[in-house]
Amino acid sequence: MDHFPIFLSLKGQRVILVGGGELATRKLRLLRKAEAAVTVIAPSACTEILELVEQGVVGYQERKFKDEDLNGASLVFAATDIEEVDTAVSQAARQRGVKVNAVDRPELSDFIMPAIVDRSPIVIGISSGGSAPILARNLREKIEGLLPPALGRLASFADSFRGAVKGTITSGGDRRRFWENFFDGPVAESVLAGREVFARERMLGLINLNWKEKNAAGHVAIVGAGPGDPDLLTFRAMRFMQQADVVVYDRLISDEILDYVRRDADRIYVGKGPGNHSKTQDEINDILVQEASKGLRVVRLKGGDPFVFGRGGEEMEVLQAAGIEVDIVPGITAAIGCAAAAAVPLTHRDHASMVTFVAGQNGDGIAEADWSGLANSRQTLVFYMGVSKANNISAKLMLNGLSGETPVAIIENGTRPDQRVLPGKLSGLGELTENSAITGPALIVIGSVAAFARQQDLRQFATEYLENNKASSSEREVAVARL
């Protein structure tokens, strides 16, 4: 971390702003929000500054900067856009131990200004340490778009009830849960919608009511975490993960995704690998019911989508039968995530008018599948859990009339850094899986769109390219490291 982020209280503090043009005016607007006692020093100043001087809210010295101007100052901004002047201000400040910011001159600055999202009292500062200011600004715009405009009002509203809540709900853990419920609940929604009087009434009701009893039933969110890349989580999944008391997760959940779960949530691993059923489905169902019955917020985190070959349906039924409230949060299923990551347009107009997701692992399932229906050249097939049955799958499809020339692609560890895309033909599918040492989760895509499949990972692409071009291994390492 090159710059340490702090939020400075400038209320009533003497701040010197050297410069009277556009750069200085921009800083002045911010400094006024922080209620600093600003003095502008410049031989001339623009109208916006002069108007504020006239209103008596900003001090003004109509002359050049002198070192003594810094006496008693907390901060100084050099915003003249003239290099010699900014340098002189910076030197004087450093001699006197006054922290200085020279606009757009990091070498002359002790501190830099972040891009700011202001929903006071909520304030967000974003900095790239000066290395990529446009990226920081870009991020600011994104965050601006995410935050409701009345967020500041919500924070002030909550603040005004802090004492009352503390007085009524004495346990720290209970208070945290109370506030979590509040910020996600209908009262907060009314504040954001501008109905504050109504919200106040309801808030009093909420505090005085035995809210804990109301929530004692617990809650389970069955959350789809997508195929692996945390970027593919939904906002809703994130919210539930950050409020969880307990998270019950599968083998397909990566550490990167677990990082987004609230730190002090208990973690229960119930992974099921092929041939390695560490917990039966019944045991998992029991765990969910038990944890929720303690009054906890449980997140059942599943790879992909919970309702696509995820047994989310069974878990939902058991919880509902036990009278526990359940929310289902959809996730990007492996077929959709992998297709995007390997550039396979599943229903490209010229190639396919249907896409079918098939469970491959279950031997009976394979026997039962409507193979003549699947062997249709205008349809894309995506087999989940199909790698160990690849031979069988290709044989059945060809027997039912699908050409052995039909393109196929295996996508292993789709959307993850170690993604592999293995293209081939239907007739060679069994051999392809046998020769490829597949160890991660993998999908088989069959149909003419599979010909689009390609490795999108630049590193892998570069490694292969350089290998094909007989680069030495050190040349290869250097080139890959530079990507």
Minimum CB separation from ligand SAH for residue 70, in Å? Answer: 59
Cβ distance to ligand SAH smaller for residue 19 or 330: 330
The number of beta carbons lying within 10 Å of the beta carbon of residue 271 is 13
CA 364 vs. chain centroid, Å, equals 40
Q: Residue 401 carries which side chain, given as an amino acid letter?
A: G
Active site residues: 250, 272
Cβ distance to ligand SAH smaller for residue 119 or 302: 302
365 annotated as ligand-binding: no
Minimum CB separation from ligand SAH for residue 346, in Å? Answer: 14
CA distances from 78 to 75, 280, 348 (A): 10, 67, 58
Strand partners, 124: 117
385 annotated as ligand-binding: yes
128 annotated as ligand-binding: no
Minimum CB separation from ligand SAH for residue 254, in Å? Answer: 9
Task: Give all strands of the β-sheet with 420-425 in edge-to-edge order.
Answer: 354-359, 379-384, 442-446, 407-412, 420-425
| Rounded-to-integer distance, Cα 122 and Cα 441, Å | 42
334 annotated as ligand-binding: yes
308 annotated as ligand-binding: yes
- Nearest residue to ligand SAH by CB is 304
Minimum CB separation from ligand SAH for residue 364, in Å? Answer: 17
333 annotated as ligand-binding: yes
Cβ distance to ligand SAH smaller for residue 199 or 252: 252
Cβ distance to ligand SAH smaller for residue 21 or 440: 440
Minimum CB separation from ligand SAH for residue 335, in Å? Answer: 7
Minimum CB separation from ligand SAH for residue 333, in Å? Answer: 3
Nearest-10 crossing angle of helices 172-184, 151-160: 140
Cβ distance to ligand SAH smaller for residue 303 or 423: 303
Cβ distance to ligand SAH smaller for residue 207 or 355: 355
Binding site for ligand SAH (CB under 6 A): 227-228, 252, 302-305, 308-310, 333-334, 338, 384-385, 411, 413-416, 441-443
305 annotated as ligand-binding: yes
Q: What are the binding residues for NAD(+)?
A: 22-23, 43-44
Residues in the annotated binding site: 22-23, 43-44, 227, 303-305, 308, 333-334, 385, 414
User: Which residues are annotated binding-site positions for S-adenosyl-L-methionine?
Assistant: 227, 303-305, 308, 333-334, 385, 414
